[in-house]
Amino acid sequence: MTTPASSRSQKRKFRFQGKYLLLIPLIFMSVFYLLPLYVMLSTGFKSFSEVNLQTMWNLPKGFSLDNYIAAYEKLAPHLKNSLIMVIPAALISSMVGSLNGFVLARWRFRGSNLVFPLLLFGMFIPYQSILIPLAVFMKNIGEVIPFLGAGTIPGLILVHVIYGIPITTLTFYGYYMTVPKELVEAARMDGAGMFGTYRHIFLPNSLPAFVVVIIWQFTSAWNDFLFAVILTGNQNWPVTVALQNMAGSQIIAWNVQMAGSFLAAIPTLIVYIFLGRYFLRGLMAGALKG
Amino acid sequence: MFSKKDQLAGFLLVLPSMIAVGIFVYGFIAWSMRVSFSQWKGLTPDYTFVGLKNYLNLFSDPRFHVDVRNTVIFTLVFVIGSLLIGLTLAILLDQHLPGEAFFRALFLFPMAISFIVTGVVWRWMLNPAMGADRISGLNLLFEQMGLGFLVNQWHLTPTWGIAAVALAAIWQMSGYTMALYLGGLRSVPDELREAARVDGASELQIYRRIILPMLWPVTLSAVIILGHISLKVFDLIVAVAGKQLPLDVPAIYMWQTTFDGLFYGRGASIGILLLISVAVLIIPYLYYSLRSGSES
């Protein structure tokens, strides 16, 4: 017979030791998450002579860059297209989102409460429901302003900026709501107008929100496939479309596809590794109140 | 509180975005609807009104029936799988184990990758080839680990093949679900757990009776976010399986019939049906989130 006190302490002890057993399922799940990464990396480092579907799980015997070089030769122009598309798209988006968020959160006008949900809805629509008008519209724009029309990179940037308005506005809105109203009122007392208030109070304090939004837009524009495949010709394909085309062709071997996949994933992975904290915040903004 | 002039300035600053979204979202939806009520088929636009004909044809179209079935299977497997894995991982990570930050980062990294990359890699992992000299991918791994009974045809499995693609989607999105749940778990006050422990509740009881019920709002958000992603799924399936008919979903049908078959009228009606199914999920969600947001 144990006294209640000692049985309780035994129970606690058991719980304490049992806790580390929970690492087993965690490690097991880690394998699931690492498998695709492992197969991408290990295949990439194998030499052409070593590549074989039947030994795809074996570690590379040596260190070879054959696959990465072959994939890079195919994808380099498209990696460049992605970069010159994504950077302006992310920067412009963040500027637009910041101004919208500022007004809707702290410089409200009559009816601004109605504008907000109407903007937000645009974040969730399936793009299939606007794809046909979008394709026609961008083609028509191209006839008036050639450099902005369908098939061009600036056109794709414009589309990413516009469909990015809801999420970027939402993120800045949430961030600016934490700025005390009193601060805005004090600035107005001092005679600051709208731009003065934005420039002196909001803009200098919004670095974290800018980082979140730029990362978010960078990642989603980099990873986009649907808009790119509709709106660009093969000269201007970003890397996702080029990679999918490479994977769909019978000529390019699976090992080069694996290496190409990794190349296409590198930029967003780097962003994730170094700025993951901000990336997560962007994700959470997408969940509204969570 | 703001003067008319100040309000006007604010309005003017947001106006370009309102116009852009007004055209590119609402205007284009209206335009798509108009196309969906037309007989437009071919290179030149033809807006001759045919009423609901395109929709009615879809409802009796065997291919669209396959699409709906695939979407239902994909959604169920993807949403339930992501919720279960996400919740389990979140509870495990909530125990303050060593390496917590590492595990969290690892489970989330697939979110940073494009569906195309995921699809291309999983395409080879799900290689359905059979026979001793052709087997590869996960099937090969199962064989080598003595788990031969798990070997299967993956996305070539009749009817359920789409569930194999959902596995790749789970790989990509379950970390996100975990992050949502972890946020919910971290907001449960420690005093509440402590109080339950003092009352003699076991850890399991604390989770079942106290913590899980508190996570309902998180589950609701997760279901809506994952659900709307799965209704729109396109890139992932194209990358895993190309445009194979057995793995067809509405987004692929819309794509093919519009841009390969030039049947704009039908393509637009698929798009509008997708929009309606997403709106049924999203509008109540937006209403609920924004209302509870403005109350606090």
Contact assessment for residue B165 and residue B74, using Cβ atoms and an 8 Å cutoff: yes
User: Could you read off the pLDDT of A22-71 as tens digits, one per residue?
Assistant: 899 999 999 999 999 999 999 989 888 888 888 888 898 888 898 999 99
Distance CA A151, CA A131 (A): 14
Å between B53 CA and nearest CA of chain A: 18
Q: Which chain B residues are Cβ-neighbours of A35 within 8 angstroms?
A: 125, 138
Task: Give this prediction's pTM.
Answer: 0.90
B144 inside 8 A of chain A by CB: yes
Å between A279 CA and nearest CA of chain B: 8
Å between B159 CA and nearest CA of chain A: 23
A108 inside 8 A of chain B by CB: yes
> Six-digit token pair at A142?
């191209």
Assign residue B141 the CATH number of its domain: 1.10.3720.10
Amino acid letter for position A95: M
One-letter-per-residue 3-state SS of chain B: CCCHHHHHHHHHHHHHHHHHHHHHHHHHHHHHHHHHCECCCCCCCCCCECCCHHHHHHHCCHHHHHHHHHHHHHHHHHHHHHHHHHHHHHHHHCCCCCCHHHHHHHHHHHHHCCHHHHHHHHHHHCCCCCCCCCCCHHHHHHHHCCCHHHCCCHHHCCCCCHHHHHHHHHHHHHHHHHHHHHHHHHCCCHHHHHHHHHCCCCHHHHHHHHHHHHCHHHHHHHHHHHHHHHHCCCHHHHHHHCCCHHHCCHHHHHHHHHHHCCCHHHHHHHHHHHHHHHHHHHHHHHHHHHHHHHHC
First-residue to last-residue Cα distance in chain B: 21
The three-point CA angle A183-A170-A89 to 5° equals 110
Average pLDDT of chain A, as a whole number = 88
The CATH code of the domain at A67-286 is: 1.10.3720.10
What's the domain count of chain B?
1
Flag if A53 and B271 touch (Cβ within 8 Å). Answer: no
Higher pLDDT, B292 or A189: A189
- Cα B164 to chain centroid distance, Å, stands at 15
What pLDDT, on a 0 to 100 scale, did the predictor assign at position A286? 60
Contact assessment for residue B230 and residue B251, using Cβ atoms and an 8 Å cutoff: no
User: Could you read off the pLDDT of B36-52 as tens digits, one per residue?
Assistant: 999 999 999 999 999 99
User: Could you read off the pLDDT of B174-192 as tens digits, one per residue?
Assistant: 999 999 999 899 888 888 8
A93 inside 8 A of chain B by CB: no
What whole-number percentage of chain B has pLDDT above 70? 98
Instruction: Give the pLDDT mean for B145-158.
Output: 86
What pLDDT, on a 0 to 100 scale, did the predictor assign at position A2? 41
Average pLDDT of chain B, as a whole number = 91
Which member of B127, B225, B242 has the closest CB to residue A248? B242
What whole-number percentage of chain A has pLDDT above 90? 61
Å between A76 CA and nearest CA of chain B: 16
Which member of B106, B238, B259 has the closest CB to residue A30? B106
Q: State yes or no: pLDDT of A18 exceeds 80.
A: no
Residue from A125, A29, A52, A77 nearest A234 by CA: A77
Query: Is residue B1, in this structure, part of any structural domain at all?
Result: no
Instruction: Give the pLDDT mean for B265-290.
Output: 92
Q: Which of residues 114-133 of A touch B (CB under 8 A)?
A: 115-122, 124-133
Flag if B14 and A100 touch (Cβ within 8 Å). Answer: yes
Q: State yes or no: pLDDT of B26 exceeds 80.
A: yes
Q: Which of B54, B100, B115, B117 to mutate to test the interface with A (most CBs of A within 10 A)?
A: B117
What pLDDT, on a 0 to 100 scale, did the predictor assign at position A188? 86
Flag if B28 and A134 touch (Cβ within 8 Å). Answer: yes
Q: By CA distance, what is B221's nearest residue in A?
A: A290
User: Could you read off the pLDDT of A122-173 as tens digits, one per residue?
Assistant: 989 999 999 999 999 999 999 999 888 888 999 999 999 999 999 999 999 9
Query: Is residue B189, in this structure, part of any structural domain at all?
Result: yes
Domain ranges of chain A: 4-55, 67-286
Q: State yes or no: pLDDT of B4 exceeds 50.
A: yes
A112 inside 8 A of chain B by CB: yes
